[in-house]
């Protein structure tokens, strides 16, 4: 299965990452609604799941694939440890705030609510939570995982993270 996935990544990396991201963003929302909130199918918000999947496939998959390639090509220092530290720092200080802003804003727009209000209420708590999880994950990712599999690793870890983001975006108590 991994070889098949790698062959798809080699042929069409952005499309493959986009499809993977769409599936796993939607799955993270399903986890949020079913495993955490225990809504049941009759109260499941399928539009919310669709919005998450759309964002994962249309935005996160292609953008993260491109971003990881930029880091791989342009952030190369004398030691492996320094390279990893610089990539994690760039990821957390440049990519994450932009990506989180895009996520929260686009979700708000698709929901028909104010993106400014959503950012005011959710950005800081989500970014603080991000800093508790992602620097460690990305340190491992940038050190040990080949470039073509980094978005997959992020997407797997993101099952839990997207569950959290979905809850944060919806304004539900955590």
Give the pLDDT confidence of 13-72 residue by residue, as tens digits: 999 999 999 999 999 889 888 887 788 899 999 999 999 999 999 999 999 999 999 999
Q: What is the extent of the structural domain holding 30?
A: 2-170
| C-alpha 174: how far from chain center | 19
User: Confidence band (pLDDT; 50, 70, 90) for 76?
Assistant: very high
Are the C-beta atoms of 57 and 104 separated by less than 8 Å? no
Residue 158: per-residue pLDDT = 86
The number of domains in the chain is 1
The residues near 14 (Cβ < 8 Å, ≥ 6 apart) are 61, 62, 65, 66
Q: Over pLDDT 90: what percentage of the chain? A: 78
């Amino acid at each position: 299965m991994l070889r098949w996935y790698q062959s798809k990544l080699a042929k069409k990396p952005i499309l493959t990452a986009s499809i993977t991201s769409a599936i796993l963003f939607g799955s993270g929302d399903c986890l949020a609604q079913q495993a955490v909130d225990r809504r049941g199918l009759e109260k499941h918000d399928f539009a919310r799941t669709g919005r998450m999947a759309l964002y994962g496939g249309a935005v996160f998959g292609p953008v993260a694939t491109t971003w990881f390639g930029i880091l791989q090509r342009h952030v190369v220092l004398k030691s492996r440890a320094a390279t990893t530290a610089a990539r994690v720092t760039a990821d957390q200080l440049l990519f994450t705030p932009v990506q989180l802003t895009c996520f929260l804003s686009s979700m708000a727009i698709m929901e028909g609510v104010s993106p400014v209000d959503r950012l005011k209420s959710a950005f800081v708590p989500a970014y603080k939570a991000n800093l508790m999880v992602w620097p460690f994950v990305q340190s491992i990712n940038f050190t040990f995982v080949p470039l073509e599999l980094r978005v997959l690793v992020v997407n797997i870890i993101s099952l839990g993270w997207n569950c959290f983001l979905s809850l944060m975006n919806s304004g539900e108590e955590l």
